[in-house]
Amino acid sequence: MDKSGTNTAAPGVNPPGAARQTKRGNLLWTGYLYLIPVFAFVGGLIYYTIYYTAEVSLFDWNGLTPDRDFIGLENYLDIARDPVFHKILLNTIIFAVLTIFLQMALGLLIAVLLKFSVVLKSLYKIIFFLPVVTAPAITAFIFRRIYSAEGELNQLLTALGLGRFTQVWLANPDLALYSVAAVNIWHWTGFSFLLYFAALTMIDKSIYEAALIDGANFFQMLRHITLPLLKPTHFTLITLGVIGSLKTFDIVYLTTGGGPGRATELMATYIFKKSIVEFDVGYSAALSIVLLLLAVTITVVQQRFQRT
């Protein structure tokens, strides 16, 4: 095409622009082809299973027989009336609040301390992160021993002259949830530390230098510089923590099995028991959908907060 807009190409010959368009069109389609595996993976493995779980939740089904009794929303109504569900919802909230904020606080504290010049800094980093990569089965076994009546925790308390505070930490229904939460905090604080430490390295040193010149002390810098600039990390940890709490299974299952009674039962252990132990697959599918809705709702609310 010339400047006047007249097409000067000879008849029967594709203009250069058309060739580019065809090429771009081909490239575009090729691009879509590359996306197919991802769509197949996400659609097939994630969205289809969610759809299937939602479908199963409308049936009274043991997961085995070919016949399934359609009961509509009955499983969801049963969940609303289920006293065990109310108990585990409360357990989950307590567990989430405790573990998320304590893990964050401890992780931040360790990260801030390790930003200073400390001897054997690399060794400390490894030590603090080590629990994260410890197998939950091992962690649970060790803590069952530590928490036992004759275990190391009670021995330590006795040695410190605090024998009157010895407890059966996992066997007491009033303490068991907090004891399990402590195991979770020990297990995951290293992860919070890692994220905070990485985020701290991204903060421009000149901001602290300017604050120092203005006479700010450590706590003022922490409150007015560090904490606000770590806001994205706080939200990331809260989001991951909430989802993690809703999904927590291994530590609870292996330390207390959800007991005594239902004292430490959480969503994931309850879903497992309903499905595997009680063969109530329809009900456990409905519980899984409730879990999903809770996770999505909380995440959306958090993201809105993050934007404001």
Residue with Cβ nearer other proteins (92 or 269): 269
Beta strands in the chain (DSSP E): 59-60, 69-70
Distance from the Cα of residue 113 to its chain's centroid: 25
Q: According to the binding rule CB under 8 A, does residue 144 interact with other proteins? A: yes
- Report the candidate in 229, 177, 197 with the shortest Cα–Cα distance to residue 132: 197
- Min dist CB 165 to other proteins, Å, is 15
Angle at which helices 176-201 and 136-147 pack, to 10 degrees? 130
- Min dist CB 171 to other proteins, Å, is 4
| Segment 56 to 115, residues that bind other proteins, using CB under 8 A | 62-65
- Min dist CB 172 to other proteins, Å, is 7
Q: According to the binding rule CB under 8 A, does residue 170 interact with other proteins? A: yes
Residue with Cβ nearer other proteins (64 or 119): 64
| Long-range Cβ pairs for the range 229-236 (8 Å, 24+) | 229/199, 229/203, 230/108, 230/196, 230/199, 230/200, 230/203, 231/306, 232/199, 232/306, 233/195, 233/196, 233/199, 234/104, 235/302, 235/303, 235/305, 235/306, 236/195
| Residue 59 main-chain phi, psi, to 5 deg | -120, 155
Residue 85 makes CB contacts below 8 A (sequence gap 6+) with 79, 270, 287
Residue with Cβ nearer other proteins (183 or 237): 183
Contact between 292 and 244 (Cβ < 8 Å): no
- The contact mask relative to other proteins for 256-285 (x = CB under 8 A, - = no) is xx-xxxxx---------x--xxxxx-----
Q: According to the binding rule CB under 8 A, does residue 152 interact with other proteins? A: no
**What token pair was written down for 308?**
């404001």
Q: According to the binding rule CB under 8 A, does residue 251 interact with other proteins? A: no
For residue 6, which amino acid is it?
T
Q: According to the binding rule CB under 8 A, does residue 164 interact with other proteins? A: no
- Min dist CB 186 to other proteins, Å, is 17
3-class SS of residue 197: helix
- Min dist CB 177 to other proteins, Å, is 13
**What token pair was written down for 266?**
């959480």
- Min dist CB 136 to other proteins, Å, is 14
Q: According to the binding rule CB under 8 A, does residue 153 interact with other proteins? A: no
Q: What is the C-alpha to C-alpha distance for residues 223 and 59, in angstroms, rounded to an integer?
A: 53
- The contact mask relative to other proteins for 27-66 (x = CB under 8 A, - = no) is -----------------------------------xxxx-
Which listed residue (97, 102, 109, 168) binds other proteins by CB under 8 A?
Answer: 168
Query: Which residue has 């085995």 as its token pair?
Result: 64
Q: According to the binding rule CB under 8 A, does residue 171 interact with other proteins? A: yes
Contact between 13 and 19 (Cβ < 8 Å): no
Residue with Cβ nearer other proteins (123 or 149): 149
How many residues bind other proteins (CB under 8 A)? The answer is: 32
Listed ranges 6-14, 18-26, 118-126, 250-258: which one lies at the site for other proteins (CB under 8 A): 250-258
Which listed residue (68, 101, 131, 148) binds other proteins by CB under 8 A?
Answer: 148
List residues near other proteins by CB under 8 A: 62-65, 144-145, 147-151, 168-173, 176, 255-257, 259-263, 273, 276-280
